[in-house]
Amino acid sequence: MQKYHLSLQYFRERLAHYDALPQLVILGMLSGVITGLLMVLFRMAVELPLTYWLGQADNFESLSTTQHLLWPIIGSCLLILIFYLWPQAAKQVGMVNLFERLSYYQGHIPGRSIVMQFLSATIALVSGHSVGREGPSIFLGAACSSLIGQRLRLPNNSLRLLIGCGAAAAISAGFNTPLAGVIFAMEVILLEYTVIGFTPVIVAAVSADIVMRSILGHENVFDVPSFEINTLAEVPWVMLLGVVVGLCAAVFNHILLSAYKLAHWPVAVRFMLAGILTGLAAILYPEVMGIGYDTITETLWGRLDIQLLCGLLLVKLLLTPFILGLGIPAGLIGPTLFIGAIIGGICGIIGDWSTDMDVSHVGLYVMLGMGGMMGAVLNAPLAALVALLELTGNPNIIFPGMIAIVISNLTVRYLFNLPSIFLSSLQAQGLDYRQEPIAQALSRAAAASLMERNFVATNHLINTSSAQEVLAEAPRWILLQEVGQPATSIMLPNDLQDHITRQAQQDQEKAIQPEASLEPQPPINLLEIPAERFNIVTLSFRATLYEALQKMNEQNIANLCITSNQGEIMGILSRAQIEYYYTHKQTL
């Protein structure tokens, strides 16, 4: 058992360093496997009841008119009950909360959030609310991975990367798109691209995909036809599609932010309003209920007429962001894919009508619309492009996909000045997720990675011979403590050496005096001799270098004592060490 604890302690201490790649790979694999299992459970929790009631998952069109109205309302009633019974946990779910936890809580996500997100998202999806399962999946994967780090008491810098691993694993397992999961985690969650960060995230994504395939088999999320762009004359039409998608993404963003202003309404009122609106919309267009992947597939094959597509676009674009803003605890990635697919289907049909050229298959425009909408709403153009490639398995999508995604992103960002929907949501709540370069760099390593371990603890009363023994160890710091008491301050050994030197000189001067008498030397009081002493301010070894710098700035100090999980001092960290790391080593 003692050997196990020593191995775990070494594992933790290695993770404090930015370059602890072997340990990070192990964590990535653990995160991927556990997230994959959780994604299997979540998917079954949603699909099994729907398959039993509807014959196949997401077949809400088979319900009667009365059921279209009542199902979302019943789901809202169940959510109201859960949120009133568990109000604290209800505030700790969703992608916005995930970003808040990363920014303001060093990635610590409570375990009860997993249960609440799983239960509430399952109810919302099974009852037919116009939401997606990808957002809850990402939160579940990230929260589960964060919990692993918390249970192992790992440094906070590794918690952040673990959350990225969980997010990548969730996307990979949900869509069978491991590479898109990796890019999404780096582009949206971690907001950085580093070699050290990429490796464990890749391992997590691949591990989750293997788990999902092993249990549920490999099945494409969408049935995608074969296609390619027929002629370069279609490029202007693809660019127009990007502009239209960008405009719709801006509308989606504005409606969601407007709905957030109703957050002061009681939960019961907001959820019941969401249920009623969804039920009324479903009476006219039942396709808006649930995830809508079956409708996307029908659109990909050009089986829906333009009148139905226009109606679905209007209803889905107005309904989904509004009910999400009201607080329905599910995701928005699936609905953005739905909306983008509908826009692409409409553009493909109109292009075929209005031009004399041989327009590509409508499925091409549907996929371009999906990628453009995802990239514009999430501000994740590279993740959207990779997702298109993995979902279609067709390299012909890359050229038109790049055009549509870039144009849609330019439209929403520079015409409407809108960032990612998640960042916009945080800003609407007075929060921010963006990190300054120094914060981002110093969050990659923990305080324990730089602390000076070469110190000696001694009583503040010490005789000369003992003081010389202390100095003989050549410590970097001396910890001062009273008998039976914890250390109270620290000092530099040079000050003690200077005092001993001065004392020796004084003794020599007395010795040459005729009337000198040999008197026993009093003990040296290290709390009173001329020296620069620093009060002990402690910080857990799990804290990042950025947290250490923040604490130094708050208390106007230059040194911190780094403590273990048991509260024992492990080493001393100075401001100079942090500054040297940032200027010389943080790019490794």
Asked whether residue 205 falls in the same domain as residue 261, the answer is no
pLDDT of residue 357: 61
* Together in a domain, 55 and 100: yes
Model confidence band, residue 499 (pLDDT cutoffs 50, 70, 90): confident
In this structure, the answer to whether residues 15 and 37 fall within a common structural domain is yes
214 domain residue, yes or no = yes
CA distance linking residue 400 with residue 231, whole number of Å: 11
pLDDT cut 90: percent of the chain above it: 40
pTM of the model: 0.86
Domain-embedded: residue 226? no
pLDDT in tens, 541-588: 888 888 899 899 988 888 999 888 788 888 899 888 888 888 876 544
* Per-residue pLDDT tens over the stretch 226-256: 777 877 888 889 999 999 999 999 999 999 9
User: Residue 323: which domain range?
Assistant: 232-437
C-alpha 306: how far from its chain's center? 39
Domain boundary among 199, 221, 243: 221
The reported pLDDT for the residue numbered 588 is 43
Is 227 part of a structural domain of the chain?
no
pLDDT score for 481: 76
My answer on whether 280 and 387 are in the same domain is yes
Identify the pLDDT of residue 382: 92
pLDDT of res. 449: 84
| Out of 26-40, 110-124, 514-528, 570-584, least confident range | 514-528
Chain center to CA of 511: 71
Selected residue with higher pLDDT from 83 and 584: 83
Together in a domain, 189 and 95:
yes
Which one of 221, 244, 271 terminates a domain? 221
pLDDT of residue 128: 92
Domain for residue 196, yes or no?
yes
433 lies in a domain?
yes
Using the 3D structure, point to which of 377, 408, 437 is the last residue of a domain: 437
pLDDT at site 587: 47
Length of the chain measured in residues: 588
Residue-wise pLDDT for 149-169, tens only, equals 999 888 888 888 999 999 999
Q: Report the sign of the C-alpha dihedral through residues 199, 200, 204, 207, in that order.
A: positive
**Cβ-count burial 398-430 (b if 16+ within 10 Å, e if not):** eebbbbbbbbbbebbbeeeebebbbbbbbebee
Give the CATH number, domain containing residue 536: 3.10.580.10
What is the Cα–Cα distance from 271 to 457, expressed in whole angstroms?
A: 60
pLDDT digits (tens, 9 = 90+) for 429-450: 777 666 667 777 788 888 888 8
Which pLDDT value is given to residue 564?
Answer: 84
- The candidate with the shortest Cα–Cα distance to 124, out of 74, 175, 196, is 74
Q: Over the stretch 129-144, which tens digit does the pLDDT of each residue have?
A: 999 888 899 999 999 9
pLDDT of residue 566: 80
The Cα–Cα gap between 359 and 351 comes to 7
- Total domain count, the chain: 3
Task: Determine the average pLDDT of the residues in 344-358.
Answer: 80
Other C-beta atoms closer than 10 Å to the C-beta of 146 total 29
**What's the pLDDT at 355?**
62
Mean pLDDT of 92-100: 85
Whether residue 457 is predicted with pLDDT greater than 60 in this model: the reply is yes
Query: To which H or E segment does residue 560 belong?
Result: strand 559-563
pLDDT in tens, 500-519: 888 878 767 666 665 555 55
Nearest Cα neighbor of 282 from 534, 74, 452, 423 is 74
> What single-letter amino acid sits at 372?
G
Mean pLDDT of 165-179: 91
564 Cβ contact list (under 8 Å, min separation 6): 541, 570
- For the stretch 357-382, pLDDT in tens is 666 788 899 999 999 999 999 989 99
Q: Is residue 295 packed enough to be buried (19+ CB in 10 Å), middle (13-18) or exposed (0-12)?
A: buried
Q: How many CB atoms lie within 10 A of CB 151?
A: 9
Under the banding of pLDDT at 50, 70 and 90, the label for residue 520 is: low
Helix residue ranges, H only, 129-194: 134-151, 156-175, 178-184
Residues 541, 543, 549, CA angle at the centre, nearest 5°?
115
Q: Are residues 280 and 400 in the same domain?
A: yes
Q: Residues 433, 487: one domain?
A: no
The rounded mean pLDDT for the chain is: 86
Q: DSSP H helical segments within 443-574, as ranges?
A: 464-472, 493-511, 545-555
- 196: how many CB neighbours lie within 10 A of its CB? 15
38-45: average pLDDT: 94
Window from 85-89, 169-173, 369-373, 452-456 with minimum mean pLDDT: 85-89
